[in-house]
């Protein structure tokens, strides 16, 4: 009898504590968010949409610090070569590859690079995201090809399936982050 009462009490306690938080738990599993303070700070400093920055992190790493098979590191999956390029562009002189595992540095570098790409491509988010994933040289060629064919460059014309899917995934995630995390991202 005592065991049944204890089990019932535990079930009631779990229901009272877990059930109300279940929507939040499901949301965090489906669309994780971490380091929102750094995201807000870097978005503000780099004049970026914080939901776009969160969406890039989501698409790159799902907010897990990892190293890819290509050597890209951290939340924003920055390769050492790209990090050296960003350090050169930004005047950073103390860059060390190990720093890419630090969320503050990784998000700062990724936000800097995203801002640079947006500026380079006239504020065109599709082109900036395509360059973040597929490289600036490729995007430059795609723009030339589109202009030679006298057509506008659109997502469907990105020749790399991975990059095309990446751009779509980031744009979809940005909309979801705006909707589900507007308070956390300061929107």
CATH code at 141?
A: 1.10.530.10
pLDDT band at 1 (very low <50, low <70, confident <90, very high): low
Model pLDDT for residues 17-67, shown as the tens digit of each residue: 666 644 444 444 479 999 999 999 999 999 999 999 999 999 999 999 888
Residue 166 lies in a domain: yes
Residue 68 lies in a domain: yes
- Token pair of 28 as six digits: 């965090």
Residue 16 lies in a domain: no
77/134 Cα distance (integer angstroms): 13
Residue 7 lies in a domain: no
Q: Tell me the catalytic residues.
A: 60
Residue 72 lies in a domain: yes
Residues 6+ away with beta carbon under 8 Å from 37? none
Model pLDDT for residues 159-186, shown as the tens digit of each residue: 999 999 999 999 999 999 999 999 999 9
185/50 Cα distance (integer angstroms): 6
pTM for the model stands at 0.82
The pLDDT score that the predictor gives to residue 70 is 83
Residue 53 lies in a domain: yes
Number of domains in the chain: 1
Name the residue range of residue 78's domain: 34-180
Model pLDDT for residues 108-166, shown as the tens digit of each residue: 999 999 999 999 999 999 999 999 999 999 999 999 988 888 887 888 889 999 999 99
Query: Is residue 11 pLDDT above 70, yes or no?
Result: no
Residue 23 lies in a domain: no
Model pLDDT for residues 57-84, shown as the tens digit of each residue: 999 999 998 888 888 899 999 998 888 8
The pLDDT score that the predictor gives to residue 88 is 84
């Amino acid at each position: 009898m005592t065991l049944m009462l204890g089990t019932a009490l535990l079930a009631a306690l779990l229901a009272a504590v877990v059930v109300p938080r279940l929507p939040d738990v499901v949301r965090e599993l489906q669309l994780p968010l971490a380091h929102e303070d750094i995201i807000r700070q870097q978005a503000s400093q780099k004049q970026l949409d914080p939901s776009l920055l969160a969406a890039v992190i989501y698409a790159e790493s799902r907010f897990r610090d990892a190293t890819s098979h290509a050597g890209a590191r951290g939340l924003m999956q920055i390769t050492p070569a790209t990090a050296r390029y960003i350090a050169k562009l930004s005047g950073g002189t103390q860059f060390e590859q190990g720093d890419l595992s630090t969320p503050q540095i990784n998000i700062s570098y990724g936000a800097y690079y995203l801002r640079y790409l947006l500026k380079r491509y006239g504020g065109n988010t599709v082109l900036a995201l395509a360059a973040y994933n597929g490289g600036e040289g490729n995007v430059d060629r795609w723009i030339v090809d589109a202009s030679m064919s006298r057509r506008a460059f659109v997502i469907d014309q990105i020749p790399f399936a991975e990059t095309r899917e990446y751009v779509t995934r980031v744009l979809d995630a940005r909309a979801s982050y705006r909707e589900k995390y507007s308070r956390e991202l300061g929107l």
